[in-house]
Amino acid sequence: MSSTNNVYQAPFYVPPRVTTPFAGGMSQGEIILYKDNNWNSAKLVIKLGNSPYIEDNVFSFAGTNLQDGATWIAFCLPVGTVCTLFDNAISSDPANPYNFSGAGICVDLIGNGQIQTIDLAAYGANDMLSGGIWRQVTTSEGWFQLFTDTGCSGQFNTIFLDEWPTGTVNSLQNWYINDKASSINCPCLTPVQTLTLSENTNGSGSTVTYGAANAFGSFTQSGAFDLTGPGMNDRVSAFSCTVIQPQQAKIASVSAKVQGAITDGNTFSTSATADNRASTSIPITMQLAESQSCTVSSTTTMEYSMSVSVTASVAVSAGVPGEDGVTATLSTTLSTGITSTTSKSFSATQTFDLSQTVTFTAPPQSHYTAVATVAIGEFPTTTVTTTGKFYYKQNLKGSTFDSTTGLYVLSSPVTVNLAGGFGSQVSIEASAAPLG
């Protein structure tokens, strides 16, 4: 098959574009397949998110007039959205839906928020496509592309490392790219990642390893390499990604204010009514929301796992029937103990007891009535980014030397997701009238 001249759309390579401008309009999340090499030919419109084009699920357009019939593609996908179209009908792998074993030639549609086009004939996939899968990708956790020809030409696969386990050999058996790769593009490996390409599907045989070409968030330095030099041309059958373990870490705690709505069934009340016939005031104690609790969870995403604890403090703006909701401040405290070199996320959940003891004073010689109420607000998942300082023996891309520790310090973002519910403080309404 002749070499394909892909287009460098930094930092990715993308398939050849159609030379005839696309004159129509498109909505975000829309893909249009055209049967012939003109924009007026028969077409199939794919709207991502609408059945059967559901995120993270393999879809097929078998039985349509575009099955094995597409020549041009126009698409408009948001940044961070990728749709991979492929030649053969495959079933979704329950362990990893982005395992393209048996899929044949793949065409990656990498969203940039604008209308883009692909000439499938120029790419070498004319009249071949029959299905695909789309997803949201996390480019900040590293990715690479393998090409069938040198110079990042030919058909290719884009592999996003957050979709694959770290520290594990991942086989490319029955992928179209298996034993065909001649070049690689990997400018966005994170500074702590090392990528190894292996000759055999189990990771044995000859290997070649690549490290980061750039600091976090940068791709100014090229990460494109031919595989002929290291002797791996047409020999790559597996890949693995490992993470360099830091010697210590310092991560800033995060705090986020969240607003949660009070839902039906999440309000608890207790009441007391009686006479105080004494000549002095007496304290009346009420127990509220016994055995009621809620949880707050945090998930911390980073290149390896750390211990996480959750604390919460509540500031009430409302919380009783007829009011809007409850406002809380949720915080996380992250320790510096490294627990794993391969895990990329760690979750912690803390349960809070909502039971309350309420005391009010009943006047002397009075008939009193009191109603106490507590409400639970359900908070949406809130994402907060903090900064971590990680200390390494190695001089990694973007790191600086710390003379105090004799180590290299690398600053990187740490993302924390907070979710759960919490209760408002108690609202109490009390009244008293003199005994008649």
Residue-wise pLDDT for 382-406, tens only, equals: 777 777 788 899 999 999 999 999 9
Highest averaged pLDDT of the listed ranges 219-223, 266-270, 338-342: 219-223
Q: Does residue 344 carry a pLDDT above 50?
A: no
- Give the span between the Cα atoms of 64 and 127, in whole angstroms: 13
Note the pLDDT of residue 416: 72
CA geometry: angle 330, 247, 207, nearest 5 deg: 110
| Better-scored residue on pLDDT, 354 or 286 | 286
Distance CA 330, CA 254 (A): 8
**pLDDT of 68 above 60:** yes
Q: What is the mean pLDDT of the segment spanning 63-89?
A: 96
- Nearest CA to 416 out of 251, 295, 243, 261 is that of 251
Neighbours of 392 (CB within 10 A): 19
Please report, for the chain, the start and end positions of each structural domain, with discontinuous segments joined by +. Answer: 7-243, 248-434
Query: Looking at residue 351, what is its pLDDT?
Result: 59
The predicted-structure confidence for 173-231, as pLDDT tens digits, reads as follows 999 999 999 999 999 999 989 999 999 999 999 999 999 999 888 899 999 999 999 99
| pLDDT given at position 98 | 96
**For position 265, what pLDDT does the model report?**
65
pLDDT tens for each residue of 361-382: 888 888 888 777 776 666 667 7
Q: Which residue has the higher pLDDT, 319 or 201?
A: 201
> What is the arithmetic mean of pLDDT over 165-171?
93
Q: Is the pLDDT of residue 261 over 70?
A: no
Q: Which amino acid is at 339?
A: T
Per-residue pLDDT at 301: 52
- What is the share, in percent, of the chain residues with pLDDT greater than 90? 53
User: In the CATH hierarchy, which fold is given to the domain comprising 248-434?
Assistant: Proaerolysin; Chain A, domain 3 (2.170.15)
When pLDDT is cut at 50, 70 and 90, the band that residue 46 belongs to is very high
Q: What is the CATH number of domain 7-243?
A: 2.60.20.10
Does position 320 have pLDDT exceeding 60, yes or no? no
303 pLDDT above the threshold of 60: no
pLDDT at 237: 98
pLDDT, position 260: 63
Q: Select, from the ranges 70-74, 280-284, 343-347, the one with the highest average predicted confidence (pLDDT).
A: 70-74
Q: Are 274 and 338 in contact (CB under 8 A)?
A: no
**244-267: average pLDDT:** 70
Q: Which residue has the higher pLDDT, 21 or 292?
A: 21
**306-333: average pLDDT:** 42
Q: Tokens for 94, please give them.
A: 């329950």
**CA proximity to 189, closest of 159, 228, 169, 168:** 159
Reported as a single tens digit per residue, the pLDDT across 103-160 is: 999 999 999 999 999 999 999 999 999 999 999 998 988 999 999 999 999 999 999 9
Round to whole Å and give the CA distance between 108 and 70.
15
Residues in CB range of 177: below 8 A, 6 or more apart: 146, 148, 155, 156, 157, 236
Distance CA 365, CA 352 (A): 39
pTM: 0.75
Task: Lowest mean pLDDT of 26-30, 66-70, 432-436, name the range.
Answer: 432-436
Query: Is the pLDDT reported for residue 315 higher than 70?
Result: no
SS3 per residue for the chain: CCCCCCEEECCEEECCCCCCCCCCCCCCCEEEEECCCCCCCCEEEEECCCCCCCCCCCEECCCCCCCCCCCEEEEECCCCEEEEEECCCCCCCCCCCCCCCCCCCEEEEECCCCEEEEEHHHHCCCCCCCEEEEEECCHHHCEEEEEEEHHHEEEEEEEEHHHCCCCCCEECCCCCCCCCCCEEECCCCCCCEEEEEECCCCCCCCEEEECCCCCCCCCCCCCEEECCCCCCCCCCCEEEEEECCCCEEEECCEEEEEEEEEEEEEEEEEEEEEEECCCCCEEEEEEECCCCEEEEEEEEECCCCEEEEEEEEECCCCCCCCCCEEEEEEEEEEEEEECCCCCCEEEEEEEEECCEEEEEEECCCEEEEEEEEEEEEEEEEEEEEEEEEEEECCCCCCCEEECCCCEEEEEEEEEEEEEEEEECCCEEEEEEEECC
